[in-house]
Structure 1
Amino acid sequence: MDPTKKYLCLNILGFKRNGITPKEFQDYMLNVHAPHVGGLLAQYGIVHWSMTHADDSTPEIFNKIRDGLFANLAPFDVCVTLVMPDIDTWIRFKEDDFFKKSVGPDHQRFADTTRSQMMLGWYQPLIKDGKLLIATGLDGAAAPAPGTAGDSSAPVSARVSEPVVHI
């Protein structure tokens, strides 16, 4: 990816169809559907594509981090992440005859598309291959959170324990 360009990211938050196990869902998506659609995604200019699958073990694993800050485990079976230069990339991909005749209909074999949700936004990588891609504070610590006393745009009188109110 060109680090000087802005990329659009589509996250498809999906559910498996009734009657298949999480393992069957994951196996189908990775071993049948992904090879089926991957070439077409690349052909139309998708620059990053990944899948994150939940299974029967992930709720118990999540309980290890559940607290007041991380309290709600999303109910989705998969999060598919697609990064592209612009929305026209996705529009052209979906208009392709192979998508219409084969890729789109294939979803009925494994997904409950009536429950899927989409999240569209701007892709901003922050760490890649273990390397921080964003600026930090001078001492190597993370930069101060916006609106806190360490933030240079915050009022000088604000103490760390006080929220900064912008009027």
Structure 2
Amino acid sequence: MANGQTSNEPMLCLTMCAYKREGMDDEDYRKYMTEHHVPLVRDLMVKHGIDKYSMTHSPPPTRALMNKIFDAQFANVADYDCIVQIQFRDIDQFIALKADPEYKRALFADHEKFADTKRTRMTIGYVRDFLRDGMLV
């Protein structure tokens, strides 16, 4: 299975419901994260055995698509600018990533350049795929 996941072994997933820094427009936010921040963190994630790192940006044009599926159950539209998900097998992997001197040197300060770290919310849970590429897993 992809990312080392087996059907009997759910992965831990850190989910960040992220907001952009005040005054930053949606395209500058997306571009900064994908073209500047991701290259800074990607190799560190590989070094520490992180299995998956993904972002879902939701600027106003995609958020407006919610109007097409809006109903009584799909009524509470989130206002997050981005959902970031990081998957790993053991919390110690992410602890080691954050303790890495390169993380402390380059990434900690970088977050303040694009993210509203006071509003952003996070949680860790188990993730398990049930459908992938249109196929049952």
TM-score, normalising length: structure 2 = 0.93
Instruction: For 1:3-152, list aligned pairs within 5 A.
Output: 3=6, 4-133=8-137
Q: Which amino acid aligns with 2:83?
A: C
Of the structure 1 ranges 105-114 and 4-13, higher mean CA displacement relative to structure 2 is found in 4-13
Does structure 1 retain, via aligned residues, the 8 Å contact 2:5–2:11?
no
Q: CA RMSD in A?
A: 1.0
Moved over 3 A (4+): none
What runs of 5+ residues in structure 2 fail to find an aligned partner?
Answer: none
The answer (yes or no) to whether the contact 2:53–2:87 under 8 Å persists in 1 is: yes
Displacement after TM superposition at 1:69 (Å): 1.0
Q: Deviations over 1:85-114 (max 9, x none)?
A: 111111110000011111111011100001
CA distance in 2, matches of 1:53, 1:30: 10
Q: Equivalents in 2 of 1:59, 1:51: separation in Å?
A: 15
The structure with more helix, counted as a fraction of residues: 2
The structure having more radius of gyration, on CA atoms, is 1
The percentage of counterpart residues that share the same residue type is 36
TM-fit CA distance, 1:123: 1.1
Measured after TM superposition, the shift of residue 59 of structure 1 is 2.9
Q: How many pairs does the alignment contain?
A: 133
